Every structure is written in C-alpha cells, then in structure tokens.
Structure 1
Amino acid sequence: MDKLSNMSVYVKVVEMGSFTAVANHLDSTVGNVSRSVSALEKVLDTRLLQRSTRRLSVTDAGQRFYERCTKILADLEHAEAEASNAALKPRGTLRVHCVPGLARHLVTSAVLEYRREFPQVTVDLLLSQRMPNLLEDQLDISILIARTLPDSAYVSQKIGISHCVLVASAEYLQRYPAPMTAADLADHQCLLLGTVDYVRDEWQLKGKSGNVTFIPQGPSFSVNDMDAMAVAIREGAGIGLMAGFSAIDDLRAGRLVRVLPEYHTHERNVYAVYTSRQFIDAKITRFIEKLKKRVGAELMKTAEELIV
C-alpha cells in the first residue's frame, strides 16, 4: 500500500480506536491494518501508537502526525471533489440517523422535500433513540434532541429547540377534574416517559413562577417511546409528557388538552451532527440547510404557540 493509503488507515485507527473496527469498516483484515501503521512508523522512525492486549493509545508524535494527516487527506478529498463537482452539486447516497419521534413528525417530510430538489441523492434514514458512532456505522449525519452534546470530535449545528408539555385527552379530563397545581397531579393517572434524555420517575417542569419537580407515585403505565406515549394519552389513559411537535396537531383540533399550561419541560436543543472534516460534501450542507429551513421553522412556530 502507498503512503497516502497508509495515512488514511492510520487516521481511521486513531478515530475508531481499534484495529478490528477499522478492518471491519474497510472490509480488510487486522493484519493489513497493523501492517499499514507499522509501515508508517518504519518510514518515520517513530512510534505512533502504543499497543497492548486491551487498548491502543496515541503517542505525542502520533497525535501530531494524525492532525497533519487529517488536513492532508481533507485537502486531497476537497481537490478530488472539486474536480468531480461534488462540492457544488449534491449527489450520491446520504445516510441519516434521527431520533424516531422527530423523524416521524418533521424530518421525514424534510427528507422528501430535499429529494424533490436533489433527485440525484438517495437518502437512507435510520431511526434510533441513541446517538450512533458515525464513523463505525458509516453515517453522514445524525439528528438528535439533547440538552447538551457529549464531547467528541464531531461537528454540530443547532437546528432549533423542543419542549415537552403535559397533556391529556378531553375524554380523560371529563372523568377527572384537571389539576390546578403541580401537587394536584398526585390525584391523577400519570403516564411515565423514559428516554435517553428524560428521567422516567420525575417530571422536571419550568414555568414563570419557577421550577417544579414532581415525582409520580404508583404510575399505571410507562414507556420509552414518545409515539407509544401519545397513543396512551389519546386513548384516555391519563396525563403524560409529549413533545410539542408531536402534540400540536391534536391540541389544535381539541383532541388533546394542555394540563397545567403554565408549565413545560426545560428546553432541549435539536442538533445536526456530522463528522469533523475540513471539506463537507454538498449533499450534507444542503441537507442541513433544508433542516434549518423546514424543521427549524416548524419547531419555532410550535414553541411560539405553546410556550407562554
């Protein structure tokens, strides 16, 4: 293998932290990956990685070389893309991860609109609650809802904000008087939502009069998916949290009713996350622009309507 190929393999080893992961990613063997790194170390006459049976660690020289390699490879990729016009015209396959609720209510429509504008791009949309490893899973972009993102080498752009509100069906509130204070929730059937970003056993609510934490006692139903929660609420099972973008149509139609409308959860940010590179393919930049224009606008409109 030539030097550029070895540099590319080395960069992936540093980013993925494992010879095995890189071998799987490249459809190669651990031996080939190891030989690529060893060849670089021989040419450079320096140790780039410290190897043990449990882990790999990057030496100081290895870190400096990694940073140089990423710039060189990015410049080469950019040059190749400019020559093929990929930097200007979106094309190819765009692999997108998104949290399920947001995908079903807002992102899928944005994807379809994006495809109408750029028919030369094929979009693969993967739904999952948890943030993936973009490199290992060979994804171009991940769309997440979180208060903050963990430290990583990824780049992120904020698309908008989201809140959850307390809602119940009109039928449920005909049977049980609506609570007037957060303490009154103790007399109701409270449906619990437990996701990556929401603690199942407590509701942390924010209002003009201050913050309130309510701990439901003896819940009749709990679930880790917002859409399943929405079904239970619509069928009159009790009071629960729903994302504003999920509840807004039912609230407008009167099928659902806000409970304690002066309260909502603390805001969560909606992020578009992608791998850190000097050059970003046009299919990614145009898709992020579409997310901001379509999804960001809908989130803002919902927040203006629900958050008083």
Structure 2
Amino acid sequence: MDTLQCMRIFEKVATGRGFALAARGLDLNVAAVSRAIAQLETHLGSRLLNRTTRRVALTEAGERYLRRCQEVLLNIDDAEAEARSATAYPTGLLRVHALSSFGHQLVVPAILEYQLRFSSLRVEVTMAGAIPDMLEQRYDASIVVAPELPSSRLVSLRLGSIGGVVCASPQYLATHGVPKTPEDLRSHQCLQLATPIFPFDQWIFKGEGKRYVVNVNSARMTVNAMEALEPAVTRGLGIAMLPVGVALPGLRSGALIRILREYEVQPVNVYVLYHSRRFLDAKIRTFIDLLREEVPSMLAADERALTTLEAREVMS
C-alpha cells in the first residue's frame, strides 16, 4: 500500500465530495479510487467516509484525518518545491573546504567574488591540511592542490596547474652561494612543504633535455602551510619551491631571488571535488562555474606577472 498516494486520493475524494470527480482529477478509474480508500480505512482501522449511491460524507474520524492529511500534503508539496528550486536558484549555505596551503591564494578571492554575485547565500569556508570525508562532514565542494588525486568516488574537475619557482633570500645566497644546477641543491638547506596529499619529499626539474630528481626528505624545515614557508625563505633559513603567486611579492620587493630559472619545475594541479554530476544543487553548480572562470585567470595572471617582472630585470 502506498500510504502517501492513498492520502492524496482521500483528500481529493473528501474535498470533491465524490469518487468520480476525484478519479477524473487524478487520472484514475473509479475502482482504483474506491480501492485506495478501502485500503486506507483498513490500514487505519477506522471508517473515514460514509457512502450512499449519490454522495459521500466524512465521518468524525474522517474530518480529523482530513485536516492532518492536508497539513502533511502541504508540507510535502513545499519540501518538493524547495528541493526543485535548489537545482534552479542558489540558496542556503555553501560549505567549502580548501587545503590551507593554497586556500588564501586561490580560494579566498574566488569566495569573495562568489559572495558579490550571490549576496543572499551564506558561505562557510574551512581550511585544513587534508582532504576531508566530504559526505560525513557535509562539504559541498573541496579545492585541492596536488600532483595527482588519490582514488575516490568524488567527482573531480581540474581547474589548471600552478607553476613553481625556486627562491632564496639575498642574505642566504650571499652566505651559502647560488646553486647552478638542481643537483647543487643537495648541499643546501632546503625548506619543504608537506601535507598528507602533498608529500614533496622530491623536487622534480626538467632542463637541458634531462629530468632531475632532488630528494629533500632531510629538509632543514618542513611545514604544512604555505603561509609559514614563505616567511622562512624571506628570513634566510633556506631555499624553497614556492607557487608563483606566493613568490611574486617577495620577488618584486627584492626580498626573494629566483634561482635555477633555466629549469622547469614540475607543476601541481588544482582540482575541485564534489559529490555528483546528477541533480547538482544550484549553489554548487554556480560555485564550480565561477571557479572554472576565476582560477585559470588567476593562474595565468601570476604567470604573466612573473614573465613581465623577469623581462624588466633583463632590460635593467
């Protein structure tokens, strides 16, 4: 027995005062309507309608049950309308996770733009060092920066890649010398970013038709947040591989110097993770659309700024 369908049929019969009218309104035959009412009365153990050959009338129990049915059916209709509208219009709370190592650089500007476009939405951003259990922690999307993703059932969309630059402070280079090749890094103090999905115990370079792999698992300092790595390089603690966007302010001011620029640093990928492509909530769909628009633009702008800066250095 489909209790909800029987309730809908009963409500139509009771308010229309007849089986035939209810049957026409629901696109059913009269026998099906009569059978549904009988099943509902049997299920409840109570008579809901008194029937004659010409009309039907509610019993006292039927009147009380009708009021409850109408409340329930109205709530269900409201819930269905709300669920449908969620796929059409961004509403409610958007919960976003981002890896703390790159969240300030990539996610915060995107979130600010998203809030400007959809001011009625609330956004909750959590920055952490590992990919969460998105289902258990009820995140709508996660922005991850990694060489590659671990296997999962989540949908992933690659937004672009981040180039890296190897940097040190002028003071460090004056004291320890300037590495000329990636292999020279073995005799230097390297500073390492490491997270559960960003285990950079190896720095990989390409140049002169060769591939260089430098182990930095004995780095002088290892941190799990980019915000801690950049100041350490600026203060002269060692050499680090920094994303272009993080390194640019220091390169512009002279607090950092790029080294090994003849060698290409292995880039890392930027992904957004979410639960499913089917019936995607509008708040998630619009956020992903914005990321697809904004993140590649931000990454390209960083690369252009680096190229312009280095071109000026050559000219000067």
Q: Report the Cα offset of residue 172 of structure 1.
A: 1.9
Distance in 2 of aligned mates of 1:208 and 1:79: 62
Q: Does 1:220 align with 2:230?
A: no
Q: Aligned residue for 1:211?
A: 211
Give the 3-state SS of the residue equivalent to 1:273 in structure 2. Answer: strand
Pick closer, same or farther for the CA change 1:207–1:306 going to 2, 3 Å.
Answer: farther
**What root-mean-square deviation, in Å, do the aligned CA atoms of Structure 1 and Structure 2 show?**
2.9
Note if contact 2:145-2:270 (Cα within 8 Å) is conserved in structure 1.
yes
Q: Aligned residue for 2:297?
A: 297
Q: Aligned residue for 1:34?
A: none
Q: Match for 1:187: what amino acid?
A: S
Q: Report the Cα offset of residue 136 of structure 1.
A: 0.6
Which TM-score applies when normalising by structure 1? 0.68
Which TM-score applies when normalising by structure 2? 0.66
Note if contact 2:158-2:269 (Cα within 8 Å) is conserved in structure 1.
yes
Q: Match for 1:266: what amino acid?
A: Q
Distance in 2 of aligned mates of 1:3 and 1:281: 29
Pick closer, same or farther for the CA change 1:159–1:100 going to 2, 3 Å.
Answer: same
Distance in 2 of aligned mates of 1:191 and 1:288: 33
Q: Aligned residue for 1:177?
A: 177
Note if contact 1:161-1:300 (Cα within 8 Å) is conserved in structure 2.
no
Q: Aligned residue for 1:143?
A: 143
Q: Aligned residue for 1:229?
A: 229
Pick closer, same or farther for the CA change 1:144–1:198 going to 2, 3 Å.
Answer: closer
Note if contact 2:98-2:144 (Cα within 8 Å) is conserved in structure 1.
yes
Q: Aligned residue for 1:279?
A: 279
Distance in 2 of aligned mates of 1:195 and 1:89: 36
Q: Deviations over 1:75-126 (max 9, x none)?
A: x9x974575x333321210000001132111211210111111011100001
Distance in 1 of aligned mates of 2:306 and 2:81: 48
Q: Does 1:263 align with 2:263?
A: yes
1:117-132 to 2 correspondence within 5 Å?
117-132=117-132
Pick closer, same or farther for the CA change 1:216–1:110 going to 2, 3 Å.
Answer: closer
Pick closer, same or farther for the CA change 1:208–1:197 going to 2, 3 Å.
Answer: farther
Note if contact 2:202-2:217 (Cα within 8 Å) is conserved in structure 1.
no
Q: Match for 1:300: what amino acid?
A: A
Larger Rg: 2
Q: Report the Cα offset of residue 296 of structure 1.
A: 1.9
Pick closer, same or farther for the CA change 1:299–1:152 going to 2, 3 Å.
Answer: same
Q: Match for 1:93: what amino acid?
A: L
Distance in 1 of aligned mates of 2:200 and 2:268: 16
Note if contact 1:88-1:282 (Cα within 8 Å) is conserved in structure 2.
yes
Pick closer, same or farther for the CA change 1:139–1:180 going to 2, 3 Å.
Answer: same
Distance in 2 of aligned mates of 1:133 and 1:182: 38
1:241-252 to 2 correspondence within 5 Å?
241-252=241-252
Q: Report the Cα offset of residue 139 of structure 1.
A: 0.6
Q: Report the Cα offset of residue 253 of structure 1.
A: 2.9
Q: Report the Cα offset of residue 277 of structure 1.
A: 4.5
Note if contact 2:182-2:205 (Cα within 8 Å) is conserved in structure 1.
no
Note if contact 2:96-2:141 (Cα within 8 Å) is conserved in structure 1.
yes
Q: Report the Cα offset of residue 204 of structure 1.
A: 2.1
Distance in 1 of aligned mates of 2:147 and 2:228: 22
Q: Aligned residue for 2:238?
A: 238
Q: Deviations over 1:230-276 (max 9, x none)?
A: 11101111111112222122223322111111234322211111001
Pick closer, same or farther for the CA change 1:175–1:121 going to 2, 3 Å.
Answer: same
Q: Report the Cα offset of residue 217 of structure 1.
A: 8.3
Give the 3-state SS of the residue equivalent to 1:113 in structure 2. Answer: helix
Q: Match for 1:149: what amino acid?
A: L
Note if contact 1:101-1:246 (Cα within 8 Å) is conserved in structure 2.
no
Structure 1 residue runs of 5 or longer lacking an equivalent are: 5-75
Pick closer, same or farther for the CA change 1:216–1:109 going to 2, 3 Å.
Answer: closer
Give the 3-state SS of the residue equivalent to 2:195 in structure 1. Answer: coil
1:154-169 to 2 correspondence within 5 Å?
154-169=154-169
Pick closer, same or farther for the CA change 1:118–1:200 going to 2, 3 Å.
Answer: closer
Q: Aligned residue for 2:55?
A: none
Pick closer, same or farther for the CA change 1:305–1:205 going to 2, 3 Å.
Answer: farther
Q: Match for 1:163: what amino acid?
A: G
Distance in 2 of aligned mates of 1:3 and 1:230: 63
Note if contact 1:144-1:272 (Cα within 8 Å) is conserved in structure 2.
yes
Give the 3-state SS of the residue equivalent to 2:295 in structure 1. Answer: helix
